């Protein structure tokens, strides 16, 4: 079952929730992303919701109305939990049936408007939890522009290692420190070794960075020993979110050889609350290309389907809000804008490669796409690139400068998809603030 354009994507559709019809609304009726929420500062149970305009449709309340039936109602019942894992495990047919039922119920002139009106809660009145139990997390390294830029800082004559163009590089990360947007964190400490020092020291990180990524959530899993074929990979991807994989560059520089990142990555990672389903993203799929002069993928990573529509054009923006900006009510400063379409490997190729050895994925597992940098300098997805390894100061809109993050800095990432002939959909935002070290 591949992702196809259907009636839920019709750009002519509007909703009886008027805020969903605004020109730059993140959550029109064509989007319908999922999250786990409750009313802010309440003792309510966390439960599933769907975004529509500036509202959350409470799926627990919707279930009680019994306006749905069949597979859509079964899927709705699976959503009646403090995490989405059971629903994600049902697979694409169930996801699609519930999406269609929600679309019909939320469209203008819906016969269910009266029942569903009582199920809406304003988004500004809610708080979020992680949308699912993330059992395992794998961070990939799929932007060749990021890999080349960073590699050039350390290996000017040989920035890309020999395997990069053959294999979707990744490492297994720490799921326990993935938190929801708004979860501020303390500056990490660890072993640092300055270039001119004889021995390392234990100290707070001085080169704290963000990484602009997409999070990719696995839905239906696979049995151990049963690889997922490339053209079936879409059946196993539930959706995507914004993902900030915070990085302690000075800790990373000392520890990463020979086995890669460890404490430099495991202290904090932040996800946006809403999962944008792969079905919602269908209109924004684009062809995937590989330069003819580069090695072409091995057979298990190659298909006509992946070539024709394997990429997603998701716009990704990063802004920085300093403590001074907040105190003086100044807007955050724009840092960069890029797109996931520049990724050297597709989400389907990540799934196929991850499982080719027989590794079993489970509902709720998450992939990080790796820092998504584009071909131009202003599309860099990290401060490491923007500051050329800390050698060049970045001037912010209010005159402040940065090379790496300072205490009190908030990083805000936003994402959206937009093209002629389709309704713009958004990812919302992911943000968090750096607090002083707790040493």
Question: Among positive and negative, which fits the CA dihedral 218, 35, 337, 187?
Answer: negative
3-state secondary structure of 137: strand
334 is catalytic: no
Residues 239 and 217 sit within 8 Å (Cβ to Cβ): yes
| CA pair distance 318, 63, nearest whole angstrom | 37
Contact 214, 284 (CB under 8 A): no
Strands 178-180 and 55-58: unpaired
Q: Which residues contact 16 (CB under 8 A, 6 or more apart)?
A: 106, 107, 108, 109, 110, 113
Say if CB 247 and CB 211 are below 8 A apart: yes
Q: Which residues contact 230 (CB under 8 A, 6 or more apart)?
A: 300, 301, 302, 303, 305, 306, 348, 349, 352
Taking the C-alpha atoms of residue 73 and residue 396, their distance in angstroms, rounded to an integer, is 50
Catalytic residue, chosen from 146, 236, 342, 354, is 146
Q: Which residues are catalytic?
A: 146
């Amino acid at each position: 079952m591949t992702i196809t354009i259907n009636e839920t994507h019709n750009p002519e559709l509007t909703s009886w929730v008027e805020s969903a019809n605004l020109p730059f609304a993140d959550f029109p009726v064509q989007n319908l992303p999922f999250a786990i929420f409750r009313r802010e500062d309440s003792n309510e149970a966390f439960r599933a919701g769907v975004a529509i305009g500036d509202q959350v449709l409470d799926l627990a309340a919707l279930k009680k109305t019994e306006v749905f039936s069949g597979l859509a109602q079964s899927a709705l019942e699976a959503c009646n939990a403090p995490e989405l894992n059971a629903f994600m495990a049902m697979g694409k047919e169930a996801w699609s049936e519930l999406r269609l039922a929600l679309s019909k119920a939320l469209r203008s002139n819906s016969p269910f408007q009266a029942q569903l009106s009582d199920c809406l809660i304003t988004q500004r009145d809610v708080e979020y939890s992680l949308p699912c139990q993330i059992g395992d997390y794998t961070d990939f390294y799929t932007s060749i522009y990021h890999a080349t830029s960073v590699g050039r800082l350390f290996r000017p004559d040989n920035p890309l290692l020999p395997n990069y163009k053959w294999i979707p590089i990744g490492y297994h990360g720490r799921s326990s420190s993935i938190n929801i947007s708004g979860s501020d964190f303390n500056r990490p400490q660890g072993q640092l070794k300055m270039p001119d020092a004889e021995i390392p020291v234990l100290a707070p990180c001085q080169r704290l960075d963000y990484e602009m990524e997409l999070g990719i959530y696995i839905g239906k899993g696979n049995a151990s020993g049963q690889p997922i074929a490339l053209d079936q990979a879409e059946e196993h991807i539930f959706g995507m979110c914004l993902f900030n994989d915070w990085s302690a560059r000075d800790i990373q520089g000392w520890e990463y050889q020979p086995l890669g990142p460890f404490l430099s990555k495991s202290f904090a990672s932040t996800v946006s609350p809403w999962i944008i389903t792969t079905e919602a993203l269908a209109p924004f799929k684009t062809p995937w290309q590989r330069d003819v002069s580069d090695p072409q993928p091995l057979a298990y990573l190659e298909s006509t389907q992946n070539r024709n529509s394997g990429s997603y054009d998701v716009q990704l923006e990063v802004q920085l809000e300093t403590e001074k900006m907040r105190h003086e009510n100044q807007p955050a400063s724009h840092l960069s804008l890029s797109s996931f379409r520049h990724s050297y490997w597709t989400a389907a190729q990540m799934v196929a490669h991850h499982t080719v050895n027989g590794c079993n994925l489970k509902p709720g597992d998450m992939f990080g796409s790796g820092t998504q940098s584009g071909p131009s300098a202003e599309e860099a997805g990290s401060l490491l690139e923007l500051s050329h390894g800390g050698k060049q100061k970045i001037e912010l809109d209010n005159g402040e400068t940065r090379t790496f993050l300072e205490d009190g800095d908030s990083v805000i990432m936003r994402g959206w998809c937009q093209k002629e002939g389709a309704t713009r959909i958004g990812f919302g935002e992911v943000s968090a603030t750096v607090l002083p070290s707790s040493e």
